[in-house]
A and B are shown apart, each in its own frame.
Chain A
Amino acid sequence: MGDEPEETPKVRAKLWDGPTRIVHWALVILIGFAWWCVKANQTEWHLWAGYGILGLIVFRLIWGFAGSASARFTTFVKGPVATLAYAKTLSQRSAKEVAGHNPMGGWSVVAILAAILSQVITGLFAVDVDGLESGPLSDRVSFETGRLFSRSHDLSFTAIKLLVVLHLSAIAFYALYKRANLITPMITGYRAFETDPKLRFAPLWRAVLVAVAAAAVTWWVVKGLRL
C-alpha cells in the first residue's frame, strides 16, 4: 500500500442559507446607502433606508431563533470559556474547522446586530435640527430628547463603523494568515469542509413567514405604533 494522501479530501457543503446571505448583503447595501443619503442631504431616502434596515434586523433576530442551524444564536453564541479557548488557537496558521461562526465571530455578530439595532431605535426617535425630517416615533418624545436621540444616532453609527472595520480586518486576517476564504461562502452559501457538517436548514416557507412577520412589525413601527 502506498502512503496516505497528504490532504484529506474536501467536501463541498452548504453553510449559509439564502435568507442569512440576503440579509447580510442587503444590510451592507442599505447601511451604505443610508450613509450616502446623509452626505447628500437626501433625508427622505435616508428614512426609507432606515425602515428597510429595521425590517432586515427584525427578520435576522427572529431568524436567529427560528432559522437554519448556522444562523441560530444557540449555535454560535458561546460562553467565556469556549470563547477564550478559541482565542488561544487564533495564532495557529490553520483555521480550526467550525461550521459557521467561530466563538469570537459569534460575539462579533451579536455586537454588530446590537449596534445596528441601537442605530435603528435611535433613528426612530431622532429629531433633526430644522424639525423638517424626524423619525416616525419622534412625536413620542420632547424636542430636546429627540435631539439627544439624534446625537446618539451619530454615536451608534461610530460604533457600527468601528465594528465593520474589525469585521473586515478579521476577514483579511483569516484570508492572509490562515488561508481561509470567508467571503465566497457568504456569497454562494457553500464551503469546503474536511467532513460534511450535515447542517440543518430551515424550509423556504418558514423564511417567507418570518419575512411577513418582520414586514408587519416594521410597518407598525413606521406608522408610529398605530394600527
Chain B
Amino acid sequence: MAFQKSLFALSLLAGFVIVGSAVQAHEHMAPMPTTPGGKAAYTRHENFKLQGAAFKAIRDELKSDAPNMALIATNAAKLKSSAEALPTWFPKGSGPESKYETDAKPEIWSDPVKFAAAVKRLQVETIKFQPTVASGDLGAIKAQAQAVGGACKNCHDSFRVPEAK
C-alpha cells in the first residue's frame, strides 16, 4: 500500500514534468510573412538561428575531451561569412513595424553608427578567429571563441529586446 502510494506520487510528479515540458517544447513556426519588411525579419531570424547553431557547434566541441578541429574550422568559417552578410539583414521596414514578431530594437535604425560599430566588432572577431582555429592552439581558440561570443552579447545588449527576467 505504502509502496503503491509512493509509485503514485512519483508517477504524478513525472507526469507534471513531462506534460510541462511537452507544452513548452511545442514549437511555434510562424508562416513566412508576405510583406517585404516581414519577409526580411523572418529571414533574419532564420539567419541568426544558423549563426547561433554554428557558434554552439564550436562551443560544444570545445567542451569535449577531444575537440573535432575540422568541425570547429567549418563553423568558424560560417561565422565569418554570416557576420560579413549581417549588415544586409536589417533593411528599413524590417523592425517592429514589420508586424513580424522580432526582437530587433528600433535603435538599430535610429542609431546606425553605433549599430555599425557593434556589427564591425563581430566581423573583426570572426576574421581573427580563422587563423586562431588554423593554429590548432586550444587555449587560444577558447579565448577567441569567448571574444566572438562577447561581440554577440555586446550587440544584443544594445539592439536586441532583452529576454524576460
Chain A partners chain B: yes
**Are B17 and A117 touching (Cβ within 8 A)?**
yes
Which chain A residues (149-188) contact chain B, with CB distance < 8 Å?
150-152, 154-156, 159
Contacting pair A110 B12 (CB below 8 A): yes
CB proximity to B under 8 Å, residues A111-157 = 111, 113-115, 117-118, 121-122, 127, 129-132, 134, 138-139, 142-148, 150-152, 154-156
Is B60 a contact of A144 with CB atoms below 8 Å? no
| Most chain B CB neighbours (cut-off 10 Å) among A118, A121, A143, A148 | A143
Q: Is the CB of B56 within 8 A of A143?
A: yes
Total CB contacts across the A-B interface at under 8 A: 99
Q: Is A91 an interface residue (CB 8 A)?
A: no
Contact residues on B (Cβ < 8 Å of other chain), bracket: 35 or more
Roughly how many angstroms separate A151 CA and B52 CA in the complex, as a whole number? Answer: 16
- Encode B26-61 as 1/0 by CB contact (under 8 A) with A: 010000000000000000000001001101100110
List of A residues within 8 angstroms of B60 by Cβ: 138-139
* Residue B135 CB within 8 A of the other chain: no
Tell me if B13 and A130 are in contact (CB < 8 A): no
Check: A224 CB closer than 8 A to any chain B CB: yes
Which residues of A, 54-75, contact B by the 8 Å Cβ criterion? 64-65, 72-74
A130-B149 contact in complex given A73-B5, A121-B21, C-beta closer than 8 Å = yes
A122 to B27, CA, bound (A): 15
Given contacts A130-B149, A134-B59, A148-B25, contact A118 B16 (CB under 8 A): yes
B42 to A: closest C-beta gap in Å: 15
Contact B53 A142 (CB under 8 A): yes
* Min CB gap A226→B, angstroms: 8
**Complex Cα distance A150/B165, Å?**
12
